[in-house]
Structure 1
Amino acid sequence: MKYGLFIYENEAFYGAEKAGPKIEELVGKHMQFAQRLGAKRIGGAGLKSTAVATTVRTAANRKTVHDGPFAEAREQLGGFYLIDVADLDEAIEIAKQIPVLQDGAIEIRPLLGQ
């Protein structure tokens, strides 16, 4: 089954003073993690800051364009992995291994057609 593993963290952690070395370490951990996944990893990427996001919202059949993600949340989507594994249990075990800078959440979602 194919799953998306979506990484949610507070972007403020990344802008904090002295975060540079921690971020470099975290990137290294993600590179190692992706290598360990091997063929189970079928895609994924980190995302740029929500400061450069754009949202197209539909309401009453009207489309409006807005700067930013317009999410009412402390944690923002910062990246994702796409994996192909046997079942949800395996996806959960993989999600538990995803490195985060501080607190955060990994959302596991099966892809449509699975």
Structure 2
Amino acid sequence: MQFLVNVIDDGQARAAGRTESATQAEMDAVDALNDRLGDAVVFAAGVSAPADGTVVDARGGTPDTAAGLVGDHDAYVAGFWVMDLPDAETALRVATEASAACNRRIELRPLL
């Protein structure tokens, strides 16, 4: 099964006064987790700041665009993994490890 594991920034970047919120220790812990998980990590990346986003809605025929994010700007996806794991129980365990490594809340969702 594949899972989307989102890293949630809920004020860390703003508190640090920069776009990326991870400290060097957090980045090192995430790198160590990635190394330990090996091939289970299908893809992983950080995501640019919310101000870099664009919401596009072309459902009405004429595209409408707006700068920023769809939802709450106080909490947003700052990075993510796509992981290939055997089951939901394992995914929850790995998400718990990811939360500890990056010192952030994690959103875990199965991919369909």
Which category describes the TM-score, using the shorter chain as reference length?
A: 0.7 to 0.9
Q: Does residue 1:34 correspond to 2:15, yes or no? A: no
In the other structure, the counterpart of 2:102 is: 100
Query: Quick one: distance in 1 between partners of 2:45 and 2:83?
Result: 12
Please give the per-residue CA displacement for 1:62-107, whole angstroms capped at 9, x wherever unaligned.
4311111131253101111111111000000000011234xx4312
User: 1:49-64 counterparts in 2 under 5 A?
Assistant: 49-58=49-58, 60-64=60-64
Calculate the TM-score normalised by the size of structure 2.
0.81
RMSD over aligned Cα atoms? 2.3
Q: Report if aligned partners of 1:14, 1:23 keep a CA contact under 8 Å in 2.
A: no
Taking the aligned partners of 1:72 and 1:58, their CA distance within structure 2 comes to 21
Distance change >3 Å, CA 71–CA 92, structure 1 → 2:
same
3-state SS, counterpart of residue 70 of structure 1: coil
- Aligned residue pairs total 108
Q: How many Å apart are 1:16 and its aligned residue? A: 2.6
Percent of aligned pairs with the same residue? 21
Q: TM-score, normalised by structure 1?
A: 0.80
